[in-house]
Amino acid sequence: MEEVRASSAWVASRASHVVVDSSGIEKVMETIEGSIPKVEWDFEGIHYFDGGPLTVQYLFVLDALNFCFWPDKDLSYDHLASGLKDALLNDESAFDADRLQKYTGPQLRELLKWPRPLPLEDERLRLLHEVGVELERSFGGKASNLVESSGKSAVKLVALVTRHFPGFRDHSIYKGHQIFLYKRAQIFAADLWGAFKGQGYGELHDIGAITIFADYIVPAVLRQLGVLKYSSALASTIEANSEIASGSEEEVELRACSVYAVEKMRELLSKKLGKQVLSVELDLWLWSCGIQCPSLQHHRTLSIYY
């Protein structure tokens, strides 16, 4: 994940719309006494878990579809996670590779019990079909085989996912340089680690290599904490709920500066506590803060990556 860290730092050093405030980071670190506030992976009980390969299949389908909820004010990540969980409880073959290749829009809505077209529904179907085809072609139809191919390495798992599944290749061009963020590929590794509590399919010896997952919520929380500062033009765009184009300088800076800022937070916290702090743990804490604050205003971008 060094390419994610390095390219995010490159953006942060050249950003004109988003600034990482070092004093803001230090203030936040002063408020954390002893350890990061602990947040369990499934703290709302919304995920499927049976301790076996079916959970891995569930998580991979979940993270293939885990993007862009904002155009529908009623839809959230919780609806997706719990809807897929219920679908699997009703029919354990719902996410078999051959079936993933054939879902239609109405069938996906029925699976999630959602009454109207999903945001970016055609893209969600395309990615679902892609997952089914490639799992069948290269991994015997099972995401658990994909995970086993990684040799218990989160870094290798992210590389495998982005190599085999184009829909997970989350990168963009910023001022002539390629910037890597890999939100959904990394969150798949983190979800495995969290769900299986670092054991079995979740045993990833280098989970510390994973960065945070640059999405809508984390930048907004970091701004609220005083870690990120926005230009007046960007702040006005977000406050007006105006769309920010995918791949624009503003959008790349929001995401990359979030990764860079949390890496700085992690480094400071590790020194303060005298032990390794995981970006995964910081992300869970920041994300849980965000979703518990309904009034939090986030940027709006139509993207398949987050």
**Interval 107-143: pLDDT, tens:** 999 999 999 999 999 999 999 999 999 999 999 999 9
The pLDDT > 70 percentage for the chain reads 99
Q: Does residue 174 have a pLDDT over 70?
A: yes
In this prediction, residues 164-193 reach a mean pLDDT of 98
Residues with Cβ within 8 Å of 124's Cβ and at least 6 positions away in sequence, in order, are: 65, 108, 118
Average pLDDT, rounded, for the chain: 95
Q: Is the pLDDT of residue 6 over 80?
A: yes
Among candidate residues 63, 170, 215, 283, the one labeled active-site is 215
21 has catalytic annotation: no
Closest CA to 205 of 278, 255, 267: 278
Distance CA 194, CA 199 (A): 9
Buried/exposed 286-305: b ≥16 CB within 10 Å, e otherwise: bbbbbeeeeeeebbbbebbb
Residue 92 to residue 86: CA distance in whole angstroms:
10
Assess whether pLDDT exceeds 90 at residue 243: yes
| pLDDT confidence bin for 44, thresholds 50/70/90 | confident
pTM: 0.95
CB atoms within 10 A of CB 48: 22
Residue 85's pLDDT is: 97
Residue 74, phi then psi, degrees to nearest 5: -95, -15
For residues 245-253, give the mean pLDDT: 98
**pLDDT tens digits, residue range 253-277?**
999 999 999 999 999 999 988 888 9
Per-residue pLDDT at 43: 73
pLDDT above 80 (res 293):
yes
pLDDT tier for residue 34 given thresholds of 50, 70 and 90: low
